[in-house]
Structure 1
Amino acid sequence: MKRKSTLILALLLPLQIIFIKIISNYPQFVETWYSKTLYPEISRIMRISLGILPFSLGDFLYAFLVISIIRWLVIRIRQRFKNPKKWILEAFATLSIIYACFNIFWGYNYYRLPLHQSLGIDNEYSTEELIRLTESLISRSNAIHSELAESDSVKIDMPYDKNELFDITLKGYTNIKKQYPELTYEGESLKRSLYSIPLSYMGFNGYLNPLTNEAQVNTIIVPYKIPTTASHEIGHQLGFAKENEANFIACLATMNHPDPYFRYSGFTFALSYCLNELYRRDKEQTDEIIKTIHPGILANYREVQEFWLKHQNPLEPMFQMFYNHYLIANNQAEGMKSYSYVVALLVNYFEDPETQFQL
C-alpha cells in the first residue's frame, strides 16, 4: 500500500508540471479563481494562525528541510546508492508533495494577470515621461528630507527600533487599501528572519516563505531600508508573487504612508529605480539631474551601498544566479532584470490624475 501511494505521488510530479504549463496560458483564470478567490482565504488563515508565533516557523521548517536532505544524502552514500528504484521513487514523491504545497499555498500567483492590468494602469512610457517623474520624485524627496533633517547634507536615520518599524509598516497598507481594496492586509505575520546574517552575505533584504506565508525581513540591513523591505514582503503575502510588482506595491504603501520617515524611504526608493533606468537611457542627463538631489539623500544611498559592499563574498554571485534562474522558472522571463518594470508602473501611476492628490 505504501509503495503504491509513493508511486502515485511520484507520477503526480510531472502531471503538476504539465498543469502549470497549461494554466500559465490563462492568467485571467488564475486571477479570478485562485489569486482573488482561493488564495486570499488560504493566506489569511495561515497568517492568522502562524502570526501569533513570536518566531518564524518557516525558518525552522527550512532548517528541518536542509537537515533532512543532508541526512538523506549521508544514508544514500553509506548504502552506496543501492536499490535506486526505491529511493528515486521516494525522492520524486517527496518533491511532488513540496511542489504541490508551494503552488497551492502561494506559487500559482506567478501566473496571474500582470499588475498593471489588475490595477488598471498602463505599462508604456517615454523617456520624457521618465524625466518628468524623476524630477518630481527628486522634488518630493528633497522636501521630505528638509522636513526631517537639520540641513540638506545630513542623512536620515530612522527614529524607531526594529519592532516599531514592523508595527508602523502596517499603517501604509491601511492607507492604500482605500484606493486599492485588493491591498487590504489582515492577519499580521511579519517577522525577523533568523537567518539575517547569511541573508546579508547572500545579498537579500528578506523573503516570503511560501509554505507558511510568513514574511521574513533581514533586520541587520540599514534601518532606512526596512520600511520598503517589509512592505515588499507584505506585497508578496497579498498574492503579488513577482518581485517587480511587490516592489511597486512597496512604493505605494510607503509613499502613501502617514509617517514622514516612511514616505522618505518610499519616495527615495522609487527615485532610485527611476535614476537607474534614466542612467541606462541617458547617462549625461542623469548626471545633471543627480546634482539637484540633496546630499543627505545621496548619503543614505551610499550608506546602503556600503552595507552591501561590506557583506560581499565570493559566493554571492552564485546565490544571485540561482535566484535569477528561480525567477525565470516562475514566469519572470527576464529574471532579475525584470525589476525595471517597476519604473513603468511608477510612471503611469503618477501620470494618472486621480492618484496625484494622494502623493
Structure 2
Amino acid sequence: MTKRTKVLIALSFPLQFILIKILGNYPEFIETYYSNGLYPYVSKLFRIVFGWIPFSIGDIFYTIAGILIIRYIYKNYRLVRKEYKRILLDIYITITVAYFAFHLLWGMNYYRLPLYKSLELDRKYTTEELVNFTERAIAKANSIQYQITQNDTIKVKVPYKSSEIFEKTMNGYENFSAKQPQFEFSHRSLKTSIYSGFLTTMGFSGYINPFTNEAQINGRIPVYKFPVTASHEKAHQIGYSAENEANFIGCMAAFYNDDIYFQYGAYNFMVWHCLKEVHNRDKDEYERLKLTLNSGIQKNYDEVRAFWTSHKNPLKPMFKFTFDQFLKANNQSGGILSYSYVVSLLVNYDKKHTLVP
C-alpha cells in the first residue's frame, strides 16, 4: 500500500464518522435504503457462504487477527521511537477500515426506525398493565413447566443437543414471520463459539459477528437458555441491532415455535424480565407475584444465577463497562440496560395482539 493510499484512507475516517452521525438522524432513510435495502442482500450472502460450515469462521478470523496483531507488535515495538508516525498511521488505518466494514456490513442497523414504530405499538404502559401481563405470563409458564415435568417443583431440562436446538429455531421464525413478515429468516448460520470460555469470562451468552454474519452462542450456558438465546442472535442477523428489539424478536420466535421447550424458554424469559420491572415499580406486587411462580421455574432461574456466580471474575465488570459504552456509542442511550426495555415491547404487543391469553 502506497503512502498516498494510506493517507487517503486515514483522512476518510472523520468523513465516515460525520456521515454516519448525520444519517443517524434519519431513521426512515436507514430503514428504507439500508435495513430493508442493501443489508438483506449482504447478510444473506454471508450466511450462504459461511452458514454451511460447522464451526465459526468469524472466530477463526478473530484468531488470525489476534496473531497478526501480536506479530506486528513483536516486529515493531523496538521501532516505536524511531518510526512512531508510521506505526500510528498503520493503527489508524486498521481502525478506519474496521469502522467502515462494521457499519457497511451490519452496524448501520443501530440507526434504523425503532421497532415499536414499525410495529405501531405504544411506548409506555401502566403498572396495572404490567402486573396483568405478568400474572398471565406466570400462569402460562407454570402450566408449561408442569406439562413438561409433571411436577411443579422440578426444573425443566431441555433434552436436545445444541445442533438440534439450532435447527429448531427456524420453525419459530417461520411461524412468527407468517404473522409479521418483516421477521422472515433464511439460510441459517448459527454456531457454538469456539471462544465460549472467553464469553463466559466476559459474562455474555452469545454475540453476532458483524463481519461474517454468523450468530455465536456461548456453549457453556445452561441448555434451557439456548432456544431464546439462539433466537435472539438470529434477530441480530436479520438486522435488528438494538438489544431490546433482539430480545423481543428472539422471545417471539421461541414463543411461536411448535416445540414446547422453546415455548417454555419464551415464557420463562417473559416472566423473568417482567418480574424485574414489577420489582422496580411496586415491590409488594413483586412479592405477591413471585409466590405464584412454580418452584421448578425458580430452580431454572437459580441454575442461571449459580452459573454466572460461579464464573465471577475481576475482568467481568470491565467487559460489561466496555460493552455498555459500545452500545451508548451506537445509538442505544440506555447502554447495557437496554436489554431490559424488552418489557415495553412485550406488554404493548400484547395489548394490540393478545399475546398471552
CA contact (8 A) 2:80 2:87 kept: no
Equivalent in the alignment of 2:129: 129
Equivalent in the alignment of 1:40: 40
Equivalent in the alignment of 1:182: 182
Whichever residue aligns with residue 31 of structure 2, its letter is E
State the number of aligned residues. Answer: 357
CA distance in 2, matches of 1:227, 1:23: 35
Equivalent in the alignment of 1:158: 158
Normalised by the length of structure 1, the TM-score is 0.97
CA distance in 1, matches of 2:308, 2:125: 31
Equivalent in the alignment of 1:321: 321
CA contact (8 A) 1:76 1:82 kept: no
SS of equivalent to 2:169: helix
Give 1:261 deviation, angstroms: 0.8
Are 1:242 and 2:227 matched, yes or no? no
Whichever residue aligns with residue 47 of structure 1, its letter is R
CA distance in 2, matches of 1:103, 1:265: 32
Are 1:149 and 2:149 matched, yes or no? yes
CA distance in 1, matches of 2:161, 2:108: 35
Give 1:119 deviation, angstroms: 1.8
Whichever residue aligns with residue 230 of structure 1, its letter is A
CA distance in 2, matches of 1:337, 1:192: 25
Normalised by the length of structure 2, the TM-score is 0.97
SS of equivalent to 1:153: coil
Q: Which runs of 4+ in 1 moved over 3 A?
A: 354-357
Q: Structure 2 vs 1, CA of residues 321 and 277 (structure 1 numbering), >3 Å: closer, same or farther?
A: same
Q: Structure 2 vs 1, CA of residues 173 and 245 (structure 1 numbering), >3 Å: closer, same or farther?
A: same
Give 1:191 deviation, angstroms: 0.6
Q: Percent same amino acid among aligned pairs?
A: 45
Give 1:105 deviation, angstroms: 0.3
Give 1:356 deviation, angstroms: 3.8
Moved more, 68-77 or 230-239: 68-77
Q: What aligned pairs does 1:1-359 form with structure 2 within 5 A after superposition? A: 2-352=2-352, 354-356=353-355
Instruction: List runs of 5+ in structure 2 lacking aligned partners.
Output: none
For 1:90-147, what per-residue CA distance to the aligned partner results, in whole angstroms no more than 9, with x for missing partners?
2222211111110000000000011111122221101000000100100110111121
For 1:24-83, what per-residue CA distance to the aligned partner results, in whole angstroms no more than 9, with x for missing partners?
111110000000011001000110111111111100111122222222222332213422
Give 1:355 deviation, angstroms: 4.4
Moved more, 289-298 or 64-73: 64-73
For 1:313-349, what per-residue CA distance to the aligned partner results, in whole angstroms no more than 9, with x for missing partners?
1111011011101111111111011223201000001
CA distance in 1, matches of 2:89, 2:318: 30
CA contact (8 A) 1:10 1:90 kept: no
CA distance in 1, matches of 2:65, 2:94: 11
SS of equivalent to 2:179: coil
SS of equivalent to 2:8: helix
CA contact (8 A) 1:9 1:92 kept: no
CA distance in 2, matches of 1:342, 1:230: 16
SS of equivalent to 2:337: helix
